[in-house]
Amino acid sequence: MGIAVAFEELVSLGVINYSVTRGDFIDREMANLFLYEFTQSMAAFVLQLEEVAGIGKVDVKEFRACFRGKQDGVDMVGFQYNDQGEKMMIREFVNKSNFVPHGDAYYEQIINMMDNYLKMKLEKHSP
């Protein structure tokens, strides 16, 4: 899924260890988190439809506020494929339940890692 990106273009933020339990099934994983400054149109993404039906983007400030309980959700824009395989543009208000169910702690780690990186980047470029 996605776009062609050289590994050297990615910024590693670190690894998140997490565990998900559903009934008798326990899934323990390590997620490597990377950032990539994407400057193209969302149309550049090629989706692996066996894995995902669509893709969207949200404002990072709204995402942070949503997962920290300061607002009910976020505006999301993107596209998805319908049952006939047609690409449909979407714009909708989504909340936590629309994201992968990893729990608030997982998303809090992502937010903190992104915030730390952005803070460091700003400090590098300020006089």
Residues 60, 92, 96, 22, CA torsion sign: negative
How confident is the model at residue 80, as a pLDDT?
92
Provide the angle, in degrees to the nearest 10, between the axes of the packed helices 104-125 and 60-67: 140
Q: Output the CA torsion sign for 23, 111, 68, 94.
A: negative
Average pLDDT, stretch 54-77? 93
Rounded-to-integer distance, Cα 16 and Cα 124, Å: 25
| Residue 26 to residue 47: CA distance in whole angstroms | 28
Using one digit for the tens of pLDDT, what is the confidence trace for 12-57?
Answer: 999 998 887 788 988 888 889 999 988 888 888 888 888 888 899 9
- Residue 42 bridge partners (DSSP): none
Where exactly are the structural domains of the chain?
7-125
